[in-house]
Structure 1
Amino acid sequence: MDNHNKTFTLIDGTFSVEDADQILTALLNYKIDYHNREDFSKHVRFNRDIEHSKKRIQELTATKEAVKNLIAETESNKFNLVINSTITVRLEEA
């Protein structure tokens, strides 16, 4: 493959406060749930170290709280939220 980096647009739009809250909360909850499931699975099946997932859960939980605070501030000011999110996938030899 020529280029080992691929970029994809995940979110690109202007959203009402309610829609932005739903989108961002669902995304963050999914990531937190993923790490919780991954922790449990790795620990039970392989007795693997789960510190990375624990750290990510803390980071994602803090981000979720910051987003909730932003949403709370925004609701009283009647703004829309412009959300742009891209992901970059890099191919790496195993």
Structure 2
Amino acid sequence: MESKLFQWLKANKNKLLPHKSSSDKGDPCYQVRLVEGLFDPAESAEVLLSLLNYKIKFHTVQLLNLKETNNSNPENSQKRIEELRAAKQEVTDLVVEARNKDLILEIHSTVKIIPKKRSE
């Protein structure tokens, strides 16, 4: 059985395609609409918490790798994990409140991608 997130992604694949534009500095950038629409609280929780959990997992792995090398400062990764956990709690509270008040949630999430040269 497909998850609601996977079903939504299949139904909205055209909305997810990158759109080319320019950044504030005139650099080319691409915008991808990750999430767009109205969701009941359970769907909202599945979409948003899945994204947050993935990012927490990503930064946790990064943090472990940094600690193993002993050459890098893991403070930024640790700080980001804490921020993401706080955001996860806020989203959870919002979803519970929406469910208790029989509300739906309108969610818009766009990712802006700006290709940059590596600094030397």
Q: Is the 8 A contact 1:4 1:92 kept in 2?
A: no
CA distance in 1, matches of 2:71, 2:42: 41
Post-superposition shift, 1:42?
2.3
Counterpart of 1:65 in structure 2 is 89
TM normalised by structure 2 equals 0.72
Match of 1:91 in 2: 115
The alpha-carbon deviation at position 90 of structure 1 amounts to 1.0
Pairwise CA distance, 1:72:
1.3
Unaligned runs of at least 5 residues, structure 1: none
The CA distance in 2 between the partners of 1:75 and 1:27, in whole Å, is 20
Identity %: 30
How well do the aligned residues superpose, as a CA RMSD in angstroms? 1.5
Structure 2 stretches lacking a partner, 5+ long: 1-21
Q: What TM-score results when the alignment is normalised by the length of structure 1?
A: 0.90
Please state how far the C-alpha of 1:34 moved relative to its aligned partner: 0.3
Query: Is 3-12 or 83-92 further displaced after alignment?
Result: 3-12
Higher relative contact order (CA 8 A, sep 6+): 1
Report matched runs for 1:1-94 at 5 Å: 3-45=27-69, 47-94=71-118
**Residues 9 and 86 in structure 1, CA contact (< 8 A), matched pair in contact too:** yes
